[in-house]
Structure 1
Amino acid sequence: MIVPETEFSRRVAVDSIPARGTDITVTANPEECEALARRFGLQAIGALTAELRLKALAGGTLFRVKGRLTAEVVQTCVVTLDPLPATVEEEFDLTFGAGSDDADAGGELDLSFEDDDPPEALVDGAIDVGEAVAEQLALALDPFPRREGAMVAAEPADPALAPDKRPNPFAALAGLRKKMG
Structure 2
Amino acid sequence: MTSENEFSRTVKLADIGAGDMKHNIAASESERAALSERFDLLSLEKLEAVITVSATEKGISAKGKIWAELVQACTATGEPVPDSIADDIDLLFMAPPQHGEDAEIELLPDECEVIFHDGKVVDLGEAAAQSMGLAINPYPRSKIADEKLRAAGVKSEEEEARELEARKAVSGPFAGLAGLQQPKNKP
TM-score normalised according to structure 1 size: 0.74
Structure number with larger C-alpha Rg: 2
Match of 2:39 in 1: 40
CA deviation vs aligned residue, 1:6-28 (integer Å, no higher than 9, x gap): 10111111111231111011100
The structure 1 residue matched to 2:134, chosen from 135, 139, 155, is 139
Structure 1 residue ranges (4+ consecutive) displaced by more than 6 angstroms after TM superposition: 112-115
Please report the RMSD computed on the Cα atoms of aligned residues, expressed in angstroms: 2.6
Distance in 1, Cα, partners of 2:119 & 2:108: 30
**CA-CA distance at 1:121 after TM superposition:** 1.5
Aligned length: 152
The question of whether the paired residues in 1 share the 8 Å contact of 2:66 and 2:87 is answered with yes
Pairing of 1:1-181 with structure 2 (within 5 A)? 5-58=4-57, 62-101=59-98, 104=99, 109=104, 111=106, 116=111, 119-151=114-146, 152-153=149-150, 155-156=152-153
CA deviation vs aligned residue, 1:17-51 (integer Å, no higher than 9, x gap): 23111101110000000000000000000111001
Cα gap change, 1:108 to 1:51, in 2 (>3 Å): closer
5+ residue gaps, structure 1:
158-181
The question of whether the paired residues in 1 share the 8 Å contact of 2:94 and 2:116 is answered with yes
**CA-CA distance at 1:67 after TM superposition:** 1.1
Distance in 1, Cα, partners of 2:48 & 2:12: 20
5+ residue gaps, structure 2:
155-187
